[in-house]
Amino acid sequence: MSGFDDLLPSAKDCMQTIAQVEAQRASDDMRREAAAAAEKKELLDRLEKPSGISDEERMKRAATIIKRAVNNGLTEVLVGQFPKEAFTDQGRAINQTERGWESTLAGLPKELYDFWRKNLKPRGYKLRFQIVDFPGRMPGDVGITLSWH
């Protein structure tokens, strides 16, 4: 039996190896989750602060995006996608299409809404805020779509 020791580990050794592999996986998962949480917090912190982009610059960017989409035969374009945490109610009012959902906007999403209301809405453009994914069957990110149809 001792001649097979190098060929085949004992059942006990197999279980110890499995435990080590599982512990390493759990540790890796925790590191990834912590990094993702830190990344999300950084993004939310950035979204809360004013962008510093002037209406003139934003109009130039909008014109470029719209012209490119129109040249490709599109009638709408996804302007941005934001974590639900960027909204004061986690996107609930948007998901329920409640009156006054606009009051839940903050930071960059609010800037984009205000820019649309002031500059694009009078030109016939429409803006739609909606939940664009449902991780774990719960509302996730909010997408902002600009359309001209």
Q: What is the mean pLDDT of the chain?
A: 88
Provide the β-strand partners of residue 100: none
Kindly state the tokens that stand for 43. Answer: 């993004």
Interatomic CA distance for residues 65 and 57, integer angstroms: 12
Q: How do the domains of the chain map onto residue ranges?
A: 2-47, 52-147
Q: What is the DSSP string of 34-72?
A: HHHHHHHHHHHHHHHS-----HHHHHHHHHHHHHHHHHT
Is residue 119 within 8 A of residue 59, CB to CB? The reply is: yes
Which pLDDT score, from 0 to 100, does residue 58 have?
92
Per-residue pLDDT at 45: 67
| Nearest alpha-carbon partner for 89 in 78, 81, 73, 100 | 100
Least confident of 9-23, 30-44, 101-115: 30-44
In percent, the amount of the chain with pLDDT more than 70 equals 93
Q: Residue 43: pLDDT band by 50, 70, 90 thresholds? A: low
- The answer to whether 57 and 79 are in contact (CB under 8 A) is no
- Whether pLDDT at 16 is above 80: yes
**Which has the higher per-residue pLDDT, 118 or 138?**
118
pLDDT at residue 44, rounded to an integer: 63
Range 117-124 average pLDDT: 96
> Quick count: other Cβ atoms within 10 Å of Cβ 31?
10
